[in-house]
Amino acid sequence: MRLVRKFMRSVAGSLITALLGLGFLLSCWFLALYAQRASTLDYSVVGELLLVAVLSLEGIIAVAHLRQSKLDSLHVLFEVLNDYRSAELMLAIVTLWRFRAKHGDQFVQAYLKTWQQDNERIAELPEEEQLVVMCSTLHYRRRVVKEFYNKLAGLYELKVLPREVIYTYWSAAELRIIPEILIPIEMAVARELRTEQDLGGWFKRLRRLHDDNRV
């Protein structure tokens, strides 16, 4: 059924473009014919024919822009899906859920403790080893997941990826990580580093991305 609707939209778009193109050509043809045969030009008639030509041309350009916008959105979707399927993000998501399951309701406090211990351990390492070890920490993997969903929420807010696209490729179960892990931990981190008000727009975007799925 979805393929049928997609085909019908494509046919309708092509038909509209064809009709607009025909309107442009006919208006130009009538204008040329009128200018050739009329002894004196009636500028109101000329103006109406030119108006039809200009409006038809604007319609063709608008349809082309709409198609390009859809192509751009499709390109962005492919990029985001590639990010989502990456081994790094998959490992980070699995790591967070395992940590959540292991520590239960105390996972936020356990996260803060692990974060502190990792920072102290990394600080004692030689500088050339710190980056490699940092990439394996829970804190880093949590940031990888957060930044991905922040990007997804931003694209949703900007309407680059519309609602039906987002909730076709990301189910409610996949978005549960936002309220159950990301937001509680980020609020705890915020209390450690800054005020909750400094969380910025990403916090509201993530909440909206999850909540809209339940509407």
pLDDT per residue of the chain (215 residues) written in tens, 0 to 9: 443 354 345 545 566 666 656 666 666 766 677 666 666 666 666 566 666 666 666 665 655 555 555 555 667 888 888 888 899 999 999 999 999 999 999 999 999 999 999 999 999 999 889 999 999 999 999 999 999 998 888 888 888 888 888 888 888 888 899 999 999 998 888 777 665 455 555 566 777 777 776 65
**What integer pLDDT is reported at residue 135 of this predicted model?**
92
Contact residues for 205 (Cβ-Cβ < 8 A; gap 6+): 150, 153, 154, 156, 157
What is residue 11's predicted lDDT score, i.e. its pLDDT?
A: 47
139 near 193, Cβ under 8 Å?
no
Long-range contacts of 150-153 (CB under 8 A, 24+ apart): 150/202, 150/205, 150/206, 151/80, 151/83, 152/80, 152/209, 153/202, 153/205, 153/206, 153/208, 153/209
Rounded CA gap, 194 and 166, in Å? 31
Cα torsion 173, 178, 179, 184: sign: positive
Q: How far apart are the first and last CA of the chain?
A: 23
The domains of the chain are located at 2-68, 87-212
**How high is the pLDDT of residue 2?**
43
**Residue 154 CB-half CA count within 13 A:** 11
Close Cβ partners of 202 (under 8 Å, ≥ 6 residues apart): 146, 150, 153, 154
> pTM above 0.85?
no
Asked if residue 156 lies in contact with residue 149, where contact means CB atoms within 8 angstroms, the answer is no
Provide the CB-side half-sphere exposure for 19 (13 A, CA). Answer: 7
The pLDDT, as a whole number, for residue 14 is 61
Q: Which residues are CB-contacts of 167 (< 8 A; sequence separation ≥ 6)?
A: 213
